[in-house]
Amino acid sequence: MRSVVTRNKVIAEFVSKVLKAFSQNRTGPSIDDILYTERLKCAFCRGTGMNGKYVKCSVCGGSGHNEVRRPTLTCAYCRGNGRDMGGLTCPVCRGRGVVSVTEPVQRCPRCGGIGRNRTGRLYCLNCEGKGVVSARDSK
């Protein structure tokens, strides 16, 4: 009985230590990152977790969901499908269907918000296919 109590105490101390280190580590994921992370249905496999019948979805690792940092926007390049025109993983959102942005944002002046360059085949390099750019950077 005593050993169980000791063990629980050790675990509790360990958890509090980890949480403390986690909240103090500014370069790594912070508590804010957890709060601002959204669990979204995987666009690539539409939440099934499978790519085809027998292969696990490589985007979400088979879970059917992806963790995405908020605020998020629907990916302009694939319009949220998670796939490019060839049916492969969208290079902009990596198959998630959404992209993380840093507010404030404005419509990309080069592509007009469609996230594609003039040929329509490649993603717009100015906004990296997101269709929006940081409103701060342009000033």
User: Residues interacting with Zn ion, by CB under 5 A?
Assistant: 42, 44-45, 57, 59-60, 75, 77-78, 90, 92-93, 108, 110-111, 124, 126-127
Q: At closest approach, how far in Å is the CB of 137 from Zn ion?
A: 13
- Judged by beta carbon, residue 45 or residue 68, the one nearer Zn ion is 45
Q: Which residue has the tokens 């403390």?
A: 20
Q: At closest approach, how far in Å is the CB of 121 from Zn ion?
A: 14
The dihedral through the CA atoms of 4, 10, 11, 12 has a sign that is positive
Q: At closest approach, how far in Å is the CB of 48 from Zn ion?
A: 7
Identify which of 63, 83, 64, 78 has the alpha carbon closest to the alpha carbon of residue 114: 78
- Judged by beta carbon, residue 105 or residue 108, the one nearer Zn ion is 108
- Could you tell me how far CA 126 lies from the centroid of its own chain? 20
Count of Cβ atoms closer than 10 Å to residue 121 Cβ: 9
- Judged by beta carbon, residue 22 or residue 64, the one nearer Zn ion is 64
Q: At closest approach, how far in Å is the CB of 109 from Zn ion?
A: 8
Helix boundaries (H) for the chain: 2-24, 31-35
- Judged by beta carbon, residue 22 or residue 69, the one nearer Zn ion is 69
